[in-house]
């Protein structure tokens, strides 16, 4: 730790270099209020963000658990951004340590689903969900952005149309072929559901901009930017494969099982608030969304999601 004299000198140098008077900043420090936990973490604001649409008690659990998920998505994004910004100077140990952080966030997301399945009465959910339509977790912009900053958009194209994409396919056309578009379009007419239409009204422009921003620096591109030798690192390959599996099979399946518990509770398969044909749509063996297909064998890709 610097001595008091050294600190004063460092402050002087810092502000003089910016053409500012260091004494003004020292006086500001003298007048500033002591910091406290509740203001620093904005706890009071945070605790005002749980407004329910009904008076059914478990709706609060539903909102808070979604909010916790969104905060963890933000933590994942925070790590990805740091990796992407270093694409020209990435080294393997740093990359692996960031992947480790992301994996731990997703482990929390995957293992905490029982907060819903054990902590929210089916009967209460079946009642309050009717007040939430057509809102759905499907409209989580952060989740969509996360996918787009992990991999190339081509790997997120609906499995049925992937073979039709060429190097001439425009980004706006690829966007219409994303795997999640199919779940919310009438298969006969192609008309978009309200859930999708409202989501696009708010986020389509942002998502397209985001795709452009990460098309050359997403996690897959970061891996491919490494030297051939670094790309062979078994530890790195394992970390990437592990993350792919954690997100695209384990998280997806925890979510799927949650949906199963609630939406099949009546003995028949109910639609969720977004109204997708969810049983098929959500299962990894149909979607086969894989962020790093280069790192999996043909056989592993064919059997994707079959082991769960």
CB of 273 to ligand HEM, least distance (A): 5
Give which of 111, 272, 110, 112 is closest to 184, Cα–Cα.
Answer: 272
Give which of 66, 227, 247 is closest to 151, Cα–Cα.
Answer: 247
Query: CB-wise, 223 or 251, nearer to ligand HEM?
Result: 251
Pick the binder of ligand HEM from 174, 243, 276, 305 (CB under 6 A). Answer: 276
Q: Which stretch binds ligand HEM (CB under 6 A): 169-177, 217-225, 227-235, 275-283?
A: 275-283
CB of 30 to ligand HEM, least distance (A): 45
Query: CB-wise, 14 or 280, nearer to ligand HEM?
Result: 280
* Residue 93: both structure tokens together: 């140990």
Is the distance from CB of 240 to CB of 296 less than 8 angstroms? no
Binding to ligand HEM, residues 42-71 (CB under 6 A): 65-66, 69
Distance CA 150, CA 217 (A): 9
Is the distance from CB of 262 to CB of 121 less than 8 angstroms? no
Q: Does 128 bind ligand HEM (CB under 6 A)?
A: no
Q: Does 157 bind ligand HEM (CB under 6 A)?
A: no
Distance CA 15, CA 31 (A): 18
CB of 109 to ligand HEM, least distance (A): 8
Q: Does 143 bind ligand HEM (CB under 6 A)?
A: yes
Distances (CA, A) of 293 to 202, 248, 289: 31, 12, 9
Is the distance from CB of 158 to CB of 221 less than 8 angstroms? no
Distance CA 85, CA 96 (A): 15
CB of 143 to ligand HEM, least distance (A): 4
Give contact residues for ligand HEM (rule: CB under 6 A).
Answer: 65-66, 69, 116, 125, 136-138, 140, 143, 180, 255, 258-259, 262-263, 272-276, 278, 282
């Amino acid at each position: 730790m610097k001595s008091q004299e050294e600190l004063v000198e460092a402050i002087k140098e810092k502000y003089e270099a910016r053409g500012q008077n260091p004494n003004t900043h020292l006086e500001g420090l003298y007048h500033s209020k002591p910091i406290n936990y509740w203001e620093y973490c904005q706890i009071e604001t945070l605790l005002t963000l749980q407004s329910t649409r009904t008076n059914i008690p478990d709706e609060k659990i539903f909102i808070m658990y979604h909010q916790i998920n969104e905060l963890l998505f933000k933590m994942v994004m925070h790590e990805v951004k740091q990796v992407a910004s270093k694409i020209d100077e990435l080294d393997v140990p740093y990359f692996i340590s960031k992947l480790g952080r992301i994996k731990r966030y997703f482990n929390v997301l995957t293992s905490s689903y029982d907060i819903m399945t054990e902590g929210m009465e089916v009967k209460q959910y079946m009642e309050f969900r009717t007040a939430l339509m057509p809102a759905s977790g499907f409209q989580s912009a952060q989740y969509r952005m996360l996918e787009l900053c992990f991999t190339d958009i081509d790997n997120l194209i609906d499995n049925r149309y992937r073979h039709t994409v060429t190097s001439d396919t425009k980004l706006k056309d690829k966007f219409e072929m994303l795997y999640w578009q199919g779940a919310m379009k009438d298969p006969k007419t192609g008309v978009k559901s309200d859930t999708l239409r409202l989501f696009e009204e708010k986020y389509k422009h942002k998502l397209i901009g985001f795709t452009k921003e990460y098309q050359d620096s997403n996690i897959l591109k970061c891996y491919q930017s490494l030297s051939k030798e670094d790309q062979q690192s078994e530890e790195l390959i394992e970390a990437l494969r592990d993350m792919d599996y954690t997100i695209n099979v384990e998280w997806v399946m925890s979510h799927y099982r949650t949906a199963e518990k609630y939406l099949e509770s009546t003995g028949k398969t109910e639609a969720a608030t977004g109204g997708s044909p969810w049983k098929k749509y959500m299962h990894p063996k149909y979607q086969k969304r894989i962020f790093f297909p280069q790192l999996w064998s043909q056989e592993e890709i064919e059997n994707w999601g079959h082991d769960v």
